[in-house]
Structure 1
Amino acid sequence: MAKKRLQKKREAAKTSAFQAAAAKAETPKITTKKVQPIKVETTKTEPVKVETKKTEPIKVETKKVEPAKVETQKAEAVKVETAKVESAKVETKKTETAKVETTKAEPVKLENKRDDDHIYRERLARHLDELKWLYCELYQDNPYVTMHLNDLLKVLKKFYDMRNDALKESDLNREKDPTWYKRNDLIGMMMYVNAFAGTLSNLESKLDYIQECNVNYLHLMPLLDSPRGRSDGGYAVADFRKVQEELGTMDDFAALTAACHNRGINVCLDFVMNHTSEDHEWAKRARAGEKEYQDRYFFFDNYDIPSLYEQTCPEVFPTTAPGNFTWLEDLHKHVMTTFYPYQWDLNYRNPIVLNEMIFNMLYLANQGVDIVRLDAVPYIWKQLGTNCRNLPQVHTIVRIMRMICEIVCPGVLLLGEVVMAPEKVVPYFGTVEKPECHLLYNVTTMASTWHTVATKDVSLLRRQLDIISELPRDYVFQNYLRCHDDIGWGLDYEYLENFGIQEVPHKKYLNDFLTGKYPDSFARGELYNDDPRLGDARLCGTTASLCGIERFGFEGNQEGVDRAVRYDITLHAFMLSQSGIPVIYSGDEIGQVNDYSYKDDPEKSDDSRYLHRGKFDWKLAENRHDPATVQGKLFPVLDKLEHIRSSHGIFNSNVPIHTIDTWDNSILAFVRENDEEKFIGIYNFSENDKVAWINEEDGMYTDLISGREMEAKGVQIPAFGCYWLCRNKQ
């Protein structure tokens, strides 16, 4: 019996040894938390999907993105070496296990092939830690924050995979040239598609004219689906993935962006972040009583909490849409509506809202949008006891969006619409190390420019230029004179108080002058949201009408018209010579004046901003080569200024700028200087001929506009005139 027991122990030992040896002989398993074998593609695919069109490496993906990492630096397990092109040759003649051959046969030429998965993983790895940190910090009180973060990361990869080859190539090129938008060769134009061309397909047929205007940055005003009569000019979006039917389809839009890219034109589109239309699917489902969708907005059963918000939140439209909440009789609830009653504020405290809005942004980027304009971005985070503007969480969200763009679509820029007090604008650039927006509207300089037109005093404008000149050169502003919106008087009143100027009466003077109420004013504008209680109002009107072309044209005063055209040119010359990207409002290039027909349209008559949103006048545009017309006097000079700007590196954003004394409060002068050239811009904001008492003792200069040579000393300058003096230093 003892012998038998010994024999059984020996047999058991042999069996155990055999099993151990067999275990060692098996292929090593790369395991995840579920201790499964390596999963090669987790959806819809066969075990190893070998595609030859993109020659992608085997994708090792799991549900949580990170677990199964194929790292090329340590080159363990499956070696996917990117340094040596020939190492990973995937043959498909036999449908056996993928062969990785490094000897025999000719190397596969991958010079022009992208390793999309590797590119994505590198971009993700660059930002993943910070992205996780910021997201979890933002939603630290949400018990499902990890789940929402994983959902976000999973879908980001899908949007990257859906991005077409042309856009991915553009991304790579722009990653290699990160200063592509900071040079002097970008000229922008903003327009409404329906006003300019009627439809998206018709706009494509007008690209020759756009290029004749030297435009390679086309900003299309809101064109996504919005309800007629309750659209706020397209800023009440009912569907972020559908184009307004009268303009065309999303396919038409994608075709337009592709046509623009073929011509070297970048496309900018508004992304309305703060709110949706009450006709949006989320709003409809919220109105139907679905709690999940009500949580995507701000709903309250009574006025207790809204009343607390109202104590600290200013009104955006005090006359046309007073208050920040709207009572919904059908629901017996209050909903937050910072702008108009039909625009419901989104609740970004809900991570689903942030995720879904990011997905909408990426969808638009994949249609070919190069610049995403973040509309009303300072308003997106709400918190009791604050004014619900510019809160720290807003900057966290913008930083998250910036990183996501750099992961999925790094060729796309973020343009922040921050119409706030001067000190609130610059923080939206973030820091050089942790950037937020690529571009910001230079709203304070724009408002200060029109302030100078009304006061004929350049002191405030000079101060604003000095402030901007001290900012890091990496910060890029979008400069403009007019746009689709009104002019708000967000000026540096603390500085103006040094001269005895008080905010409320000064705003009234500015508005009186620029609406033509002040004696001898040449301007013709209209007020928007005039609030007598606060003595506040904003201004509407085209550049031509505010410069006097409308008034003197209707009066038949040719001398006045010529002077107004000269002023129009001077203001554009000033805008074009600033650091940043100059953007012209469509119609300004032909001196188009105010369109008062909006008053006859019941859907527009309550909104005076339609004064400068009129249809583009193609008959006037035909006059642009006739020197006897306003168009023929204006268009060719703007064309010349734009060509000068694009041909001189002195206008690059990284070139230092500083103002200089002219010893005349109505004349502004500043210097731009690099190793090759020195530029002096001189601008007369007075109706009288003047002398700019500058004293640059470094030789002769050439006026780039007229070709005249002169010294930069005691320069005589005509009323409302300008000079672009330049000296070659080499």
Structure 2
Amino acid sequence: MHEWERIPREAARSLARLLPRVEQAFAAAGGNATDWAAFEQRLRREWPRLFELLLGLYGTQYDFFYHLEQLLIAMAQSWHERPHWLKQRDAVREADSEWFQSERMMGGVLYVDRFCGTLNRLREFIPYFNELGLTYLHLMPLFAAPEGNNDGGYAVSSYREVNPHIGTTAELAALAQELDRAGMSLVLDFVFNHTSDEHEWARRAQAGDPDYQEFYFLFPDRTMPDAYERTLREIFPTVRRGSFTWRPDMQRWVWTTFNSFQWDLNYANPAVFRAMAAEMLFLANLGVAVLRLDAVPFIWKRLGTNCENQPEAHQIIQAFNAIARVAAPALLFKSEAIVHPDDVLSYISPHECQLSYNPLLMALLWEALATREVKLLAHSLSHRFRLPAGCAWINYLRSHDDIGWTFDDNDARAVGIDPWGHRQFLNAFYTGRFAGSFARGLPFQENPDTGDARVSGTLASLAGLEQALGSGDPQMIDTAIRRIVLLHSVILSIGGIPLLYLGDEVGTVNDYSYVTDPAKAVDSRWVHRPARNQAGMDQRHDPATVPGRIFGELVRLIRLRTSLPALRDGAMEVVRSDNRHVLAYVRQAGSQRVLALANFSEYPQPIAGNLLRMYGPGVELFDVVAERAISANEALVLQPYQFVWLTPMR
């Protein structure tokens, strides 16, 4: 019998054996027949792929079927406990599986403690989020974490307890429901590559429990760490050289890819997979609509490789996806993979991560702003933007994290750019070390051995507003605002879900006070994680102020986006502009077509009328941004940092 014939038969036999025991456990927990019928129907649909994935990962383990049975019982229990309002949302979103592709989708992201202090206080800002047009709110890590340095909350000590300084788990669940009533989906992080060394599992490992020591990678000497490190890259070289930390209390080396207090989990152990699946379903039942899967490339280790983007990492996420389709059907996954563009794309599919950050677009928008040329941006997007059906990009200009230059070296060479030298230029430009730079960023994790570095800074500071405000020059301020709005125009129109880091909508600049806090001083990313800019928010309706100008333009564009069905989903075609400073792309849905043009230079740039006729199409066009007619019988001159969204005149 061929392998492709054997696995489906084994899957069917296994389900036939396991299902009665799962149903019995469901009934014993008080589950009703209607809920069981819905659960069983979805389980039968997803079971063949879930079984095959788990068999590939753990089929050689002696206790494989024990873990399989316990996993199914936990899934059934989670479905039984799922609140009624979430089951209603499941039904609605299963019926409209492309709800997240709408032109009305608009994301926002913030740290609760930095923005307003507590979850209860955050509820007071729901009208503000509605004013911005948000339909998706990502709250940065807010669960229990070590005091002091905790990598911005990414060292999780409990997946079920909110940081007591922020609130309670009950308050988080109530907020999720209130956001849903206000038309917003809650997004949280699922930090599943590692836990903090204060997590219960880590504490048990430290106490000598052999079962929990197998949750992590522990080594008695340097033999295996040295063998692994021959092919690993350093992620935080200024924090700690290498990927392992010595623990005197255990007399063991621990695998710590990021910080010494973040212990990598051992997914070769099926108990780890099952435990994390339970944590995922707990978060889903709080009302989370989207889970941001943190650090996805790192979750599987293989000696002799860089331990990134291994095939098993994909199998694990796909298995989590199948579990969610059964026990929390409306839950979506968002991939965070800041790696080579080919590897970013590999995590995106309806059966893995339906959403993904678009680090290539983010990095190359900044690259185009620095060079005033769009050749690398246009070339890369022309063959790296398309996604499988049923998936979408999350398009952002900056996040809580640093900016790394993750473009493909061969793409750079194809347009005449030396990749290594170009990255050095971009780092110099955005840290203000390049003569004539308008940016005010800081270096992050400069590696003295390789010359590699990334960049920290708020959007406004990187786009020149901090420098301009310091000069007091009205023309420089106007130019900086034009850059800020231009960048947002692209993420609002190019296809996918636009994402704002809250504070950028009112031009928040760098906060250098982080250096006075010992827990943050060594991490320059805190320069772009400032407290809420209340002064800017108070001025948002005053067009005579800088915050008012930025806020007013962004809200206008966000509302305009919702009126353009052509901006739905992610179908986008880069087209020629015949001007190295102007990015051109076409969006189309149904009968509506939009030609977007964006000038990345501080000088006027012409676009030939024949190109407008070719891509418009037609002679008479209408710029929906400026609300004016455009004739394709003559050249269109884009003013400095101007953008247009052109539709055929009706």
TM superposition score category, shorter chain reference? over 0.9
Distance 1:43 1:622, change over 3 A: closer
1:481 and 2:397 matched: yes
Per-residue CA deviation, residues 453-483 of structure 1 (Å, 9 max, x unaligned), is 1111101110222124544343311000011
Residue 127 of structure 2 aligns to a residue in which SS? helix
2:453 matched to 1:537?
yes
CA distance in 1, matches of 2:405, 2:528: 18
- Which residue of 2 is the match for residue 317 of structure 1? 236
* SS of equivalent residue, structure 2 residue 288: coil
Q: Deviations over 1:167-215 (max 9, x none)?
A: 0000011111111111211100010001111100000111111111110
- Which amino acid is the alignment partner of residue 723 of structure 1? V
Q: Which has the higher helix share?
A: 2
1:554 equivalent to 2:475? Answer no
Q: What secondary structure, in the 3-state scheme, does the structure 1 residue paired with 2:597 have?
A: strand
What residue is the counterpart of 1:419 in the other structure?
338
Q: Could you say what secondary structure the match of 1:390 adopts?
A: coil
Aligned position for 1:201: 120
1:715 alignment partner, one of 627, 633, 636: 636
Aligned with residue 588 of structure 2, among 642, 666, 673? 673
In the other structure, the counterpart of 1:724 is: 645
Q: In the alignment, is residue 265 of structure 1 matched against residue 218 of structure 2?
A: no
Q: Look up the match of 2:576.
A: 661
Which residue number in structure 1 is paired with residue 108 of structure 2?
189
User: Match for 1:476: what amino acid?
Assistant: A
2:625 corresponds to 1:705: yes
- What is the Cα deviation at residue 670 of structure 1? 1.0
Matches within 5 A, 1:639-654: 639-653=555-569
Which residue is equivalent to 1:599? 515
Counterpart secondary structure, 1:414: strand
Q: Deviations over 1:473-517 (max 9, x none)?
A: 433110000110000111121122245533332211101111222
User: What is the match of residue 601 of structure 2?
Assistant: 686
Give 3-state SS (helix, strand or coil) of 1:358's partner: helix
Q: By how many angstroms is 1:160 displaced?
A: 0.4
**What's the secondary structure of 2:594's corresponding residue?**
strand
2:494 equivalent among 566, 570, 578: 578
The 10-residue stretch of structure 1 (348-357 or 514-523) with the greater mean CA deviation from structure 2: 514-523
Match of 1:145 among 64, 68, 85: 64
Matched letter for residue 719 of structure 1:
P
Q: How far apart, in 2, do the equivalents of 1:630 and 1:673 lie?
A: 34
Q: Is it true that 1:521 corresponds to 2:437 in the alignment?
A: yes
Q: Which residue among 96, 117, 138 is the counterpart of 1:219? A: 138
* Separation in 2, partners of 1:644, 1:43: 49
Contact 2:141 2:189 in 1 (8 A): yes
2:79 matches 1:163: no
Task: Give me the whole-angstrom Cα distance separating, in 2, the residues matched to 1:42 and 1:559.
Answer: 70
Q: What secondary structure does 2:444 align onto?
A: strand
Are the structure 2 counterparts of residues 368 and 40 from structure 1 closer, same or farther at C-alpha, using a change threshold of 3 Å?
closer
Report whether the alignment pairs 1:395 with 2:310.
no
- Rounded to whole Å, the distance in 1 between the matches of 2:560 and 2:508 is 24
**Equivalent residue, structure 2, for 1:244:** 163
Correspondent of 1:614 among 530, 541, 551: 530
TM-score, with length taken from structure 1: 0.84
Which secondary structure state, in structure 2, belongs to the residue aligned with residue 474 of structure 1? coil
Match of 2:47 in 1: 128
Aligned residue number for residue 456 of structure 1: 372
The worse-fitting range, judged by mean Cα deviation, of 493-502 and 326-335 is 493-502
Aligned equivalent of 2:174, options 247, 255, 263: 255
- Offset at 1:675? 3.5
What code does the residue aligned with 2:356 have? L
The question of whether the paired residues in 2 share the 8 Å contact of 1:590 and 1:630 is answered with yes
Name which of 600, 612, 634 aligns with 2:550: 634
Q: Deviations over 1:106-142 (max 9, x none)?
A: xxxxxxxxx2111111000101122122112211221
Cα distance change on mapping 1:660 and 1:503 into 2, 3 Å: closer
After TM superposition, give the deviation of residue 286 of structure 1 in Å: 0.6
Separation in 2, partners of 1:597, 1:520: 26
Asked if structure 2 preserves the Cα contact closer than 8 Å seen for 1:416 and 1:441, the reply is yes
How far 1:708 sits from its partner (Å)? Answer: 1.2
Kindly indicate whether the alpha-carbon contact (under 8 Å) linking 2:123 and 2:175 is maintained by their aligned counterparts in 1: yes
Q: Which amino acid aligns with 2:572?
A: I
Q: CA deviation at 1:728?
A: 5.3
Say whether the 8 Å CA contact 1:677–1:728 is kept in structure 2: no
Aligned counterpart for 1:335 among listed residues 230, 254, 259: 254
Secondary structure, aligned partner of 2:647: strand
Measure the CA separation in 1 of the matches of 2:463 and 2:186: 29
Paired with 1:715 and 1:313, the residues of 2 have a C-alpha distance of: 51
Partner of 1:280: 199
1:28 alignment counterpart: none
Is the Cα–Cα contact under 8 Å of residues 422 and 492 in structure 1 kept in the other structure? yes
Task: State the match for 1:103 in structure 2.
Answer: none
Q: Rg: which structure is higher? A: 1
Q: Which amino acid aligns with 1:692?
A: I
Report if the CA contact (8 A) 1:313-1:388 is conserved: yes
Query: CA separation of 1:243/1:436 partners in 2, compared to 1, >3 Å: closer, same or farther?
Result: same
Aligned CA distance change for structure 1 residues 212 and 506 (closer, same or farther; 3 Å) = same
**Does the CA-based 8 Å contact 2:620-2:649 persist in structure 1?**
no
Q: Is the 8 A contact 1:549 1:565 kept in 2?
A: yes
Compute the displacement of 1:40 (Å): 8.8
Instruction: Give SS of 2:648's match.
Output: strand
Greater relative CO (CA pairs within 8 A, separation 6+): 2
Other-structure match for 2:12? none
In 1: Cα distance, 2:607 partner to 2:431 partner: 30
Query: SS of the counterpart of 1:313?
Result: coil
Contact 1:676 1:728 in 2 (8 A): no
CA separation of 1:328 and 1:711: change in aligned 2, threshold 3 A: same
SS in 1 for 2:453: strand
Residue-by-residue CA offset, 1:422-474 (whole Å, 9 max, x unaligned) = 111111124x6xx2101011111111111111111101110222124544343
Equivalent position of 1:350 in the other structure: 269
Q: Distance in 2 between matches of 1:254 and 1:386?
A: 41
Say yes or no: does 1:505 pair with 2:418.
no
- Secondary structure of residue in 1 paired with 2:540: helix
* One-letter amino acid matched to 1:632: G
Number of equivalenced pairs:
628
Quick one: distance in 2 between partners of 1:728 and 1:481? 32
CA shift for structure 1 position 402: 0.7
Unaligned runs of 5+ in 2: 1-15
Q: Write out aligned runs for 1:78-93 (5 A).
A: none
Structure-2 separation of matches of 1:134 and 1:443: 28
For structure 1, the 5+ residue unaligned runs are 1-31, 58-114
8 Å contact 1:507–1:535 — kept in the other structure? no
Q: Which amino acid aligns with 1:275?
A: H
* Segment drifting more, 158-167 vs 660-669: 660-669
